[in-house]
């Protein structure tokens, strides 16, 4: 666990301030590109940060909802666009108060065990907020949206979820952090989406029964008015401690050549799975 976070170099690609000009589909195409690049040894371990405005990211299972189009229309009426991601999980809310962090590691010859990836991200978040006394737990929070065994919570209230994407010997461990705003209001939005998109139909897959009160933001939990920039400083400080060299970077030439292809795959996948 310690060894995974510790890297000779950490390249940071910060896209947290361009959310209104950056479509979420581009984010998932970018992470796939970085997986291929880092996995091929064309770039060092990379941390990418990103924020998207009013976007609901659906999981593949969500596309099986019997009244999906009605659910998507509801989200649209509330001012949210929707996309389908290429990593696991179910629907999550992204907005200007949610910071996403992707850690892209090269997969060693023995491979990176899936739990080891989750543990590394959990460890990073614990380090980032070590100056607060509250314990950050990793366990499933029943009643949250996109529940999983590595939901991050304080006092039983979830503020983050982690997913992974593996491609071309690269591993992207992705987390969304609800930094500020109302966690329960975000959960209420997803609860209503499922109520409309599922209705009373029996479905093969079990969708979560969302209880908005089990979700909160870091600002609510720590009673501190965090901004995205505040959390970025904490992230950079920890990455610096876990490397010999921390530097800000952009996509290199190898990655710029790969990006259009991976982005197109994400676009085509969305067109396919979201067809009425």
Residues annotated as part of the active site? 146
Q: Are 51 and 86 in contact (CB under 8 A)?
A: no
Give dist(CA 145, CA 58) in Å, integer.
11
Task: Give the closest residue to 163 by CA, choosing from 233, 100, 235.
Answer: 100
Phi first, then psi, for residue 125 (nearest 5°) are -65, -40
Give dist(CA 245, CA 248) in Å, integer.
10
Provide the Cα torsion 104, 106, 110, 116; round to 10°. Answer: -20
Bridge partner residues of 160 (DSSP)? 152, 177
Bridge partner residues of 215 (DSSP)? 158
Q: Which helix (H) or strand (E) holds 255?
A: helix 253-273
Task: Give the closest residue to 10 by CA, choosing from 100, 130, 104.
Answer: 104
Helix (H, G, I), strand (E, B) or coil at 112: coil
Helices 24-39, 253-273: inter-axial angle, 10-degree rounding: 130
Counting every residue written for the chain, the total comes to 276
């Amino acid at each position: 666990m310690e060894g995974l976070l510790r890297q000779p170099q950490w390249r940071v690609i910060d896209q947290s301030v361009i959310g209104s000009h950056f479509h979420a589909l581009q984010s998932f195409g970018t992470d796939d590109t970085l997986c291929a690049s880092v996995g091929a040894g064309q770039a060092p371990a990379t941390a990418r940060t990103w924020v998207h405005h009013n976007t609901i990211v659906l999981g593949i299972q969500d596309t099986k909802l019997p009244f999906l189009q009605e659910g998507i229309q509801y989200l649209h009426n509330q001012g949210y666009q929707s996309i389908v991601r290429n990593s696991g999980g179910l629907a999550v809310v992204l907005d200007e108060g949610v910071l996403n962090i992707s850690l892209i590691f090269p997969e060693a010859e023995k491979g990176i065990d899936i739990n080891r990836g989750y543990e590394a991200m959990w460890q990073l978040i614990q380090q980032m907020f070590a100056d607060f006394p509250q314990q950050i737990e990793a366990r499933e929070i029943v009643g949250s949206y996109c529940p999983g065994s590595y939901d991050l919570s304080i006092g039983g209230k979830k503020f983050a979820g982690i997913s992974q994407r593996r491609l071309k010997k690269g591993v992207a461990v992705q987390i969304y952090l609800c930094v500020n705003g109302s966690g329960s209001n975000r959960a209420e939005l997803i609860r209503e989406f499922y109520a409309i998109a599922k209705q009373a139909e029996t479905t093969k897959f079990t969708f979560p029964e969302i209880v908005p009160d089990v979700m909160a933001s870091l600002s609510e939990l720590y009673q501190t008015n965090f901004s995205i920039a505040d959390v970025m400083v904490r992230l950079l400080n920890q990455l610096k401690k876990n490397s010999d060299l921390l530097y800000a970077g952009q996509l290199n030439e190898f990655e710029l050549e790969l990006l259009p292809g991976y982005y197109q795959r994400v676009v085509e996948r969305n067109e396919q799975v979201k067809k009425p």
